[in-house]
Structure 1
Amino acid sequence: MRLLRSGEVRPLNEAKLLLIGQGSVGKTSLIERLIRDKYDKNQPQTDGLNVQTWKVQVNNKYIRLNSRTNANHQHYAPNCCPIPTRYPRRHYH
């Protein structure tokens, strides 16, 4: 932190967003909508890893958000992040 305050080193101003999940649920379409405000109902299924860069303004500064969508994450990292197949029911009054 001392180096950042001194001005000798610049902050990275970069973040990563990783979307993983089952195939054909709309991960890439969500990123396309957020970054380009586009939706393509015929968007092909992502094969492997899709990386896109998004420039976001935070506190009057721009940061680079590197978004990654990963299709069929079980194939690439089977023990990484299990996705529940059932969700508990919640009762709202």
Structure 2
Amino acid sequence: MHQRILEIVVFLADELNRRGGELKDIAKLSDDLRRQGYTENEISAALSWLFERLEEGRRWEGTTYSGVRVLHEVERRVLSPEAYGYLLQLRALGLITPGQMEATI
């Protein structure tokens, strides 16, 4: 998935979590994303990807998967909290597998 589209998907996932699983004002979110420099095509692709997942019968569960990976002290020195948080978001969205997360760390 294109990096900028992935950024939008992560943003939308955060919004879904914040709003209890509902995105009521997509037009306002789209405007906010355009102001941040994203194109209409990128926003549309991200929304399509997200809605396809929701239409597949998956109810938005947010970032509530069960396993939490605790970083070793050496890993914490190499991986910033922001980078680790981003990996956790990707994992929660199902964009990477646990094995891919381990390989990245």
Note whether the superposition's TM-score is higher than 0.5: no
**TM-score, reference length from structure 1:** 0.28
Rg (Cα) greater in structure: 1
**TM-score, reference length from structure 2:** 0.26
Give the helix-richer structure, 1 or 2. Answer: 2
